A and B are shown apart, each in its own frame.
Chain A
Amino acid sequence: MSALDMAKRRLFEDGLGVTNIKFFPGTKLGVTPEQMAEEFNKAMSQLANQDYEEVDGKADDAHP
């Protein structure tokens, strides 16, 4: 299964019922939809395994 098909399945067919998804592309030009879907699938796996860091935004407060 392609990464793109896997992403579509995860988002819209496996009962998750995503209502909106948007992206901010990375720094490299010439990236393919398949590469982007692959990274997104990794994020979904990390999310499922609670393998992420919460961002509290307090870094903004640390700078005068």
Chain B
Amino acid sequence: MGDFRDLYSYIQTLTPKIKRNVIRDKITALTGQKLRVMMFALDLNILRGFFLSVHDADNPFVKQNGCNIIGLVKGQDSSWERFVQVKEMMHVFDSEKERTGNSADFEALLGSLTRPQVDRTPQQRAEAKAFWMALAVLCPEETRRRLKAELADEKTLTTEYSVALQLRIPEELVSALFSADYELNLKAILT
């Protein structure tokens, strides 16, 4: 069974814009896990999306909905909708320890998403990892380095806005893609 490193290697062979269905299909090919994506009418102020997984093929819920559900909240800008879907898809790669599979971990996770925490549980760490993994699969490294150099070069017309359009990611996340944080986090994820 393949892991995130295999997906990341595959992404390096592609050219943006990376389609989310291409990412979804590769995840299924690597892991055998199918993903179903659904749009819900919820308050976008509170929630952008979620990932829900049930691994019991005989469960009636699974028979109706499948094992892995990505929930997206209606009304988002299309670049945000794409990013949220890709981030949630990354949770297929959560290790057993990183999965939220009981009430105590669930409550701790909701607490950490709404209040700062000094110490992180494996589930909270998985949320952070998925953010950087999603950025990484929407921009191959060669493209990232080229765009970073262009952005630093005053002779080019490249801006954070034009990068966001090229990659179809939210403009608010472009600076994260070129940050030292990105390189540190991705290195930690890939090693």
B53 touches A18 (CB 8 A): yes
A33 touches B47 (CB 8 A): no
A21 touches B21 (CB 8 A): no
What number of A residues sit within 8 Å (CB to CB) of B? 46
Known A27-B44, A43-B42; judge A55-B85 contact (CB<8 A).
yes
Interface centre among A8, A32, A46, A55 (most CB of B within 10 A): A55
A60 touches B82 (CB 8 A): yes
B37 touches A20 (CB 8 A): no
When A and B form their complex, what is the total count of cross-chain residue pairs whose Cβ atoms lie within 8 Å? Answer: 165
Interface of B is mostly: mixed
Known A57-B19, A61-B19; judge A25-B38 contact (CB<8 A).
no
Q: Chain A: which residue is nearest B100 at the CB level?
A: A21
Whether, in the assembled complex, B126 has its beta carbon less than 8 Å from a beta carbon of chain A, the answer is: yes
A-B contact pairs, 19 of them (CB 8 A): A8-B107, A11-B103, A12-B103, A18-B53, A18-B101, A20-B53, A20-B101, A22-B88, A23-B51, A33-B110, A36-B110, A39-B43, A40-B50, A43-B47, A43-B50, A52-B38, A55-B37, A61-B21, A63-B17
| Chain B residues close to A by CB (< 8 Å) | 17, 19-21, 24, 36-56, 59, 61, 65, 69-74, 78, 82, 84-85, 87-88, 91, 94, 99-103, 106-107, 109-111, 113-114, 123, 126-127, 130, 168
| Chain A residues close to B by CB (< 8 Å) | 4, 7-8, 11-13, 15-28, 30-33, 35-40, 42-43, 46-47, 51-61, 63
